[in-house]
A and B are shown apart, each in its own frame.
Chain A
């Protein structure tokens, strides 16, 4: 039997050596050229004027303000979208109701709309000439060109990540264990915390991670609503752009290095979580 499968193996997969090597070379070259070299350049540029310049760039008031704002935005949007994501996934996988397909499509909307358009929607809603602009002005509430606008835009953009991750997972999981918990006398909350949450935790963390990465890295939508006020409404990605446009390359690349570091960390955690998820799926 092994000789037969060996034969098949040879005819299907044993392309000439040069084909194999050139394919590997192309793939590897691409990754080096478009991923590793730019990343390296970011780091080289960031340190081009020495460590001291790098750290003083990171210590600038505007840079710190940008980091704070980015963190604040993520701290508000990620928990909110986690709650929303779990609620939406729960509703979609555990109940039958009219308009379910429509809801699923709606959840995907931020994925299919250009981030710039998403930002513009908020300007049209809350901006000075927008629907609610006049009312907001009278009541002295600032949304556009202020922190609430940035949070709203980020909230919108990152809204599908958790739900999208959970829906297929919870569909596959089924509701028998939850029903079993209820039949044993558990209340809805106890069922959720003791049965549902432990089962979905890796998928949930994965969604939260992706949501967080996007919340911290979002540029387009935030750019439209932020107004680019230095030290006030610039998130880290916006600060990088502003610094770069002002030929402050150390500052720009120092900010970029932080974002790149975030991306790498996300990748590592993502791989780890995928591995965990796989393991928990196999144990069924």
Chain B
């Protein structure tokens, strides 16, 4: 089911949490609402769910205006950050809840409910836990039960609030992959909220970057990474080196192989992996190798750039292990940079 938000605004007192949000999400997408804490992403998710009311604007689910529908009538599934499992019910009863509270004329009988609940528990691979209580489960298991419970009512939209936020790093990695696969299987339009850009890039098919109640950019993970729309997105997604254009820097950047636009943009953002290092042939090269760190397959190189007039500035470059070894550099060596590409901003 497609989701269309038009002119959504929300204030908490004087604080403007969301400002005139327009967003369209096609059917079957797995969308990440990504942004720093306090950017309004959770509020937006709760407004789509109907747990919060927007001050103005409309919400259309599959072309139907649901703005004034109560949360229980929107046909959404919501997975809470801390799962919100009913602690006085078994896993089975938790998942069955949504079916049992249906109005009499729509309520399936207990045999059908049992069949459906077990099928869902098998889908999340936890049927063997059906008679346990939530406090007897691990965080990852609770998360999957919460998901099964939300799916029981066959929601047309699945909303997840920081689905991996409260989990250990290793469990989180597994669950990300698992959620992605599950989405492929079910193909239900899903939105999840996260502040972790790596998570958004890895799991989502579409990423919406939010900041201070505005949408900064929406697109596929590749689009967002390769063509950041503005300084905020460029800095928030992945690492970046920032170069402000002055007379000296512009000469130096030209030497480093960068094409500088005639006029307009004044700030260059360069990803660490777009910087290549070679041993300096010129004794006066302003860049010195300061240190490096191993990041698994990659080496992150920390460089100090000291131009005449400016303070020393740290520049990061990344390259494969092997390549770095071949350069045979040690701390304090002078190097020269080759910059492959940059994003230019005002």
- Find out whether the CB atom of A184 lies under 8 angstroms from the CB atom of B98: yes
- Find out whether the CB atom of A183 lies under 8 angstroms from the CB atom of B101: no
- Find out whether the CB atom of A195 lies under 8 angstroms from the CB atom of B135: no
Given that A184-B149, A185-B153 are contacting pairs, would A179 and B84 also be in contact in the complex, using a CB cutoff of 8 Å? yes
Q: Which residue of B lies closest to A184 (CB)?
A: B98
Residues of B close to A198: CB separation below 8 A: 88
- Find out whether the CB atom of A177 lies under 8 angstroms from the CB atom of B150: no
Residues of A close to B150: CB separation below 8 A: 183-184
- Contacting chain B: which of A100-108, A186-194, A206-214? A186-194
Q: How far is the CB of B293 from chain A (nearest CB, A)?
A: 36
CA distance A180 to B153 in the complex (A): 12
A residues apposed to B, CB below 8 Å? 176-177, 179-187, 190, 194-195, 198-199, 280, 283-284
CA distance A224 to B82 in the complex (A): 53
CA distance A41 to B173 in the complex (A): 71
Q: How far is the CB of B149 from chain A (nearest CB, A)?
A: 7
CA distance A199 to B134 in the complex (A): 14
Residues of B close to A186: CB separation below 8 A: 72, 97-98, 101
Kindly list 20 other residue pairs between chains A and B, CB separation below 8 angstroms, not including A180-B86, A183-B77: A176-B84, A177-B84, A179-B80, A179-B84, A180-B80, A181-B86, A181-B101, A183-B49, A183-B51, A183-B76, A184-B98, A184-B150, A184-B152, A185-B72, A186-B72, A186-B98, A198-B88, A199-B87, A199-B88, A283-B133
Q: How far is the CB of B336 from chain A (nearest CB, A)?
A: 56
Given that A183-B72, A284-B135 are contacting pairs, would A177 and B78 also be in contact in the complex, using a CB cutoff of 8 Å? no
CA distance A182 to B102 in the complex (A): 11
B residues apposed to A, CB below 8 Å? 49, 51, 70-73, 76-78, 80, 82, 84-88, 97-98, 101-102, 133, 135, 149-150, 152-153
Q: Which residue of B lies closest to A197 (CB)?
A: B88
CA distance A194 to B89 in the complex (A): 10
Q: How far is the CB of B299 from chain A (nearest CB, A)?
A: 42
CA distance A60 to B173 in the complex (A): 77
Q: Which of A179, A181, A184, A283 contacts B87 (CB 8 A)?
A: A283
CA distance A280 to B134 in the complex (A): 13
- Find out whether the CB atom of B101 lies under 8 angstroms from the CB atom of A177: no
Q: Which of A179, A187, A195 contacts B78 (CB 8 A)?
A: A179
Q: How far is the CB of B260 from chain A (nearest CB, A)?
A: 53
Q: Which residue of A lies closest to B81 (CB)?
A: A176
- Find out whether the CB atom of A194 lies under 8 angstroms from the CB atom of B87: no
A-B contact pairs, 5 of them (CB 8 A): A176-B84, A184-B152, A194-B97, A195-B86, A199-B87
CA distance A199 to B86 in the complex (A): 9
CA distance A179 to B83 in the complex (A): 11
Residues of A close to B87: CB separation below 8 A: 177, 199, 283-284
Q: How far is the CB of A66 from chain B (nearest CB, A)?
A: 41
Residues of B close to A179: CB separation below 8 A: 51, 71, 78, 80, 84
CA distance A180 to B83 in the complex (A): 9
- Find out whether the CB atom of B88 lies under 8 angstroms from the CB atom of A182: no
Q: Which residue of A lies closest to B49 (CB)?
A: A183
Residues of A close to B71: CB separation below 8 A: 179, 182-183
- Find out whether the CB atom of A187 lies under 8 angstroms from the CB atom of B72: yes
Q: How far is the CB of B47 from chain A (nearest CB, A)?
A: 13
Residues of A close to B135: CB separation below 8 A: 283-284
Residues of A close to B85: CB separation below 8 A: 177, 180
Residues of A close to B70: CB separation below 8 A: 182
Given that A183-B71, A186-B97, A194-B101 are contacting pairs, would A177 and B86 also be in contact in the complex, using a CB cutoff of 8 Å? yes
Q: How far is the CB of B269 from chain A (nearest CB, A)?
A: 40
CA distance A195 to B149 in the complex (A): 15
Q: How far is the CB of A199 from chain B (nearest CB, A)?
A: 7
Q: How far is the CB of B134 from chain A (nearest CB, A)?
A: 9
Q: How far is the CB of A25 from chain B (nearest CB, A)?
A: 43
- Find out whether the CB atom of A176 lies under 8 angstroms from the CB atom of B149: no
Q: How far is the CB of B132 from chain A (nearest CB, A)?
A: 12
Q: How far is the CB of A154 from chain B (nearest CB, A)?
A: 33
Residues of A close to B133: CB separation below 8 A: 283
Most buried by B among A176, A180, A181, A187: A180
CA distance A176 to B149 in the complex (A): 14
Residues of B close to A187: CB separation below 8 A: 72, 101
CA distance A182 to B150 in the complex (A): 11
CA distance A183 to B153 in the complex (A): 10
Q: Which residue of B lies closest to A178 (CB)?
A: B84
Q: How far is the CB of B80 from chain A (nearest CB, A)?
A: 5
- Find out whether the CB atom of A184 lies under 8 angstroms from the CB atom of B84: no
- Find out whether the CB atom of A182 lies under 8 angstroms from the CB atom of B72: yes
Most buried by A among B51, B82, B84, B135: B84
Q: Which residue of A lies closest to B73 (CB)?
A: A185
Residues of A close to B153: CB separation below 8 A: 184-185
CA distance A194 to B76 in the complex (A): 20
Q: How far is the CB of B75 from chain A (nearest CB, A)?
A: 8
